[in-house]
Structure 1
Amino acid sequence: MNKNEATLAERLIRNFKEIPLQDERRDPLYQSQAARLGTGTAARKLGASVDIVAPGKRSCPYHFHHTQEEMFVVIEGQGSLRVAGELLPIKTGDVIFIPPGPEYPHQIINTSEAPLKYLSISTRETPEVCEYPDSGKYQAMVTINGARAFTAVQRTDVSLDYWDGEP
């Protein structure tokens, strides 16, 4: 491969079997491994990762995005999609579409005895606000040039006056 081809390949191609998995755990409910595929690529509007959820665990807290749209492709295993207050069965081959907004809070749960592996694809809208209905909190995030420039996690029931702290 010549230098130009190598540069293009590095910016445009990822093999999810070669990206190191990051452990994400919060006992007792959450345990998964994730390979972040879009990091360091030329992608500007799409993010992707491969996620593996341990048996009986959840991938992340129940949440919804105000601007980002998500898609999940179940590669291996089975479990449940908790969405809009319901539990829907999911299995290998299923493709799940989650638009932004409060109508579709969601969470993937591995209800089986084997690992649940899926591809996550999302838009990289910024700024973004993500809400967590179970815990009554939200996270505001701003990303600039692929790097997180601002993050705040707060409770929705704690609010300051617009003029608080101003002279």
Structure 2
Amino acid sequence: MQLQNVNHLGEEFVLRSAGELRTLLLGAAGGGRRLYVNVDRVPPGRWSTKYHSHSRQEEFFLLLRGSGTLRLGGETVPVEAGDFFAKPAGMGLAHAFFNSGTEELEILDVGTVEDSDVCDYPDEGVRLVKVDGSRRWFRGGEELADWSSDPNGP
């Protein structure tokens, strides 16, 4: 174990996706194995993820900075720094944050690492089946070769 600083992470621990969304992989950088710990930095007008649910992954979210909206289980609610919630596994509770504010939205995202999971993306009718770390995407039973989970992509 080695003490690290969130402001000095190696590039291999920073995911960048379309729309300038950045995810800091703190758990991975610190050597975590059974929990992931991420900080999502979402610019104004962007989504943190596509609206989705998990069958096995339990998650916890804490808004560290900014404001926006949370789409959770069919409802949309305003959120601001200090708001938090846990999402138990297997409830089919789809979720996604949108930065409707004027400054960067920063979210602490903690969850269990699962080698196998099923993620449903209800807006697009897509299902991700993850088995022993491999990922396969399906729509209506047909496998998709080029689908992306990037929430702000083309």
Question: Shared topology, TM-score over 0.5?
Answer: yes
Q: What is the CA RMSD across the aligned residues, in angstroms?
A: 1.9
Equivalence map 1:14-163=2 (5 Å):
14-19=4-9, 20=11, 21-25=14-18, 31-143=20-132, 149-155=133-139, 157-158=140-141
TM-score between both structures, scaled by the size of structure 1 = 0.76
Residue 16 of structure 2 aligns with an amino acid whose one-letter code is D
Shift of 1:15: 2.5
Higher relative contact order by CA 8 Å / sep ≥ 6: 1 or 2?
Answer: 2
Shift of 1:121: 0.3
| Aligned mates of 2:135, 2:49 — CA distance in 1 | 18
Structure 1 unaligned spans of 5+: 1-7, 144-148, 161-167
Residue 18 of structure 1 aligns with an amino acid whose one-letter code is H
Query: What CA deviation, in whole Å up to 9, does each residue of 1:57-106 have, x standing for no partner?
Result: 10111000000011111110011110111111111111121122344110
Shift of 1:22: 2.6
Cα 1:128/1:76, change in 2 over 3 Å: same
Shift of 1:55: 0.3
Cα 1:42/1:23, change in 2 over 3 Å: closer
**Other structure's SS at 1:43 match:** coil
Cα 1:31/1:137, change in 2 over 3 Å: farther
TM-score between both structures, scaled by the size of structure 2 = 0.82
Query: What CA deviation, in whole Å up to 9, does each residue of 1:94-144 have, x standing for no partner?
Result: 11211223441100111111110011101012211111000111112245x
Cα 1:154/1:104, change in 2 over 3 Å: same
Residue 53 of structure 1 aligns with an amino acid whose one-letter code is V
**Other structure's SS at 1:88 match:** strand
Residue 46 of structure 1 aligns with an amino acid whose one-letter code is L
The aligned counterpart of 2:149 is none
Q: Assess if the C-alpha contact under 8 Å between 1:31 and 1:59 holds in 2.
A: no
Higher alpha-carbon Rg: 1
**Other structure's SS at 1:49 match:** strand
| Aligned mates of 1:88, 1:152 — CA distance in 2 | 32
Aligned residues: 140
